Amino acid sequence: MERLVVISNRVAVPKARGVAGAQGGLAGALNAALKQHGGIWFGWSGQESESAADNIHLQRNDGVTTATIDLSSRDVDEYYNGYANSTLWPLFHYRLDLTQYERETGKGYERVNERFAECVTPLIEPDDLIWVHDYHLLPLGERLRARGIANRIGFFLHIPWPPTRLFVSLPFHERLVRTMLEYDLIGFQTDEWRESFLHYCRKELGAEVEEDSGAIMFEGRTTIARAYPIGIDWDHFQSQGESDEARAAEQRLLDSTRHRTAMIGVDRLDYSKGLPERIDGIGRFFDQHPDRVRDLVFIQIAPPSREDVQSYQQIRMLLEQKTGQINGARSEVDLVPIRYVNRGYSHAELYGFFRAAKIGLVTPLRDGMNLVAKEYVAAQDPDDPGVLILSRFAGAAQQLAAEGAGAVLVNPYSPDDIAHAIRVALDMPQAERKARYDVMIGTIRDDNVQAWTRRFCEDLAATRND
Ligand code: F6P
């Protein structure tokens, strides 16, 4: 098996490992991929430093070697807070209203991609498979090619790819996609995002595109674009579920919510997750069914994320305001309808909380996949499972809500739809809950992160780049 060189902005350094914090699904998935394959994981340390510009910090842990570099505060500002998270992230989540187009941050983005290429090149051996991840590093493959790297290079996008009409609002959009066509294989979470990318290549670049195989022929090179829906680390998550920590967390939630159904949401505090809209839906449910305030308690775990970016500060204020309004209006001395928590928990604790909660509420406005949806279901008792309420705009909906079965699908923009789904979930008989669970659990168990890694790496190894 070829050695794998994984390159991503965020690297799960050991001190953060095992703690969900604000990491998102990417770090856990790549950690599992590397344990399976062996190799090196290169990226940003998460630290800022002005000196020691090119020092690479190597660390070996649990069979995974990480190689990280620090970034200067200017780099973090322009590349991470700027172009990646104030331009690409909102644009790729269909939020033109939040997208900022600044030439300076675009230059910072290119500069950091070049720096990544410069620092990782000496670590690459001739037969390595190189696997680049996510929107922070779209042009990295081209930067590596410019340094003479002839290895097979694959790229996986963890977030949506926007429709062409939105994407062309990005200055220099063509230049960016041309760099991506230096990859041998590009993976997307769903067919929807893959089709948007193929559409762009055909319409805007005039590339020759074969829909079925995903082959894009452009200026003498061929790049393959395919969908590889990411999965959870099933075995690891189940083993966490057997721990004392998970059992204690489950009991803790059950003890504190006695006689009431616990409904849970776990999301990075991000506007793409539809959190204020979710709270509006819960408010609508209580407006329509005031007598049920004693039946339901909603727990929203929302670790803050990207706190230096203004749109994230604003969404946090809005969420606090909306949660405060509902709690102020609906609380009693012995009852608070919404518990809003700004911190992360370990995987074991989340497993316990998920198992104790009879409804999982996952309602992003747009999401590449959403692994929380899969983890919620994976943690359920098969004989008495809870109900997953899932946004139709999460990538996970394509796998978990096929043909009207599985998750209860909602339009996350509609408070009435969310309120209705909560009522349906609260009143759902056990037989229907079981039937819906049975539809979802097979794909969650089998299409796991190891299968995802295997599929991508086998396809990448089979591409021809010479
Ligand atoms: O999967 C999307 C993603 O943006 C990852 O690339 C990222 O590591 C994660 O969410 C969490 O975001 P951040 O790294 O900005 O904290």
Token output for 394: 């999460």
Residues contacting 134, CB < 8 A, separation 6+: 8, 9, 26, 156, 157, 158, 159
Q: What's the confidence (pLDDT) of residue 20?
A: 42
Q: CA-to-CA distance for 239 and 233, rounded, in angstroms?
A: 10
Q: What's the confidence (pLDDT) of residue 27?
A: 82
Q: What's the confidence (pLDDT) of residue 51?
A: 74
Looking at this predicted complex, what is its ipTM?
A: 0.96
Phi, psi for 38 (deg, rounded to 5): 80, 150
Ligand 1 atom closest to 305 (CA): 16
Cα 9 to ligand 1 centre (Å): 8
Amino acid at 300: Q
Ligand 1 atom closest to 23 (CA): 11
Q: What's the confidence (pLDDT) of residue 13?
A: 64
If phi over 0 gives left and psi between -120 and 50 gives alpha, with beta otherwise, what is residue 45?
alpha
Ligand 1 binding residues, C-beta < 6 A? 10, 22-27, 134, 158-159, 305-306
Q: Give pTM, 2 decimals.
A: 0.96
Q: What's the confidence (pLDDT) of residue 50?
A: 85
Q: What's the confidence (pLDDT) of residue 152?
A: 97
Q: What's the confidence (pLDDT) of residue 37?
A: 81
Nearest to 272 by CA among 99, 71, 399, 130: 99
Q: What's the confidence (pLDDT) of residue 16?
A: 43
Cα 53 to ligand 1 centre (Å): 23
Cα 26 to ligand 1 centre (Å): 7
Q: To 5 degrees, how large is the angle CA 188–CA 46–CA 90?
A: 45
Cα 187 to ligand 1 centre (Å): 17
Q: Which residues pair with 185 in a beta bridge?
A: 154, 224
Q: Tens digits of per-residue pLDDT, 13-32?
A: 655 434 444 466 788 888 88
| Residues annotated catalytic, as ranges | 158, 367
Q: Tens digits of per-residue pLDDT, 316-354?
A: 999 999 999 999 999 999 999 999 999 999 999 999 999
Q: Which residues of the chain have pLDDT under 70?
A: 13-24, 52-54, 465-466
CA-closest residue to ligand 1 atom 9: 24
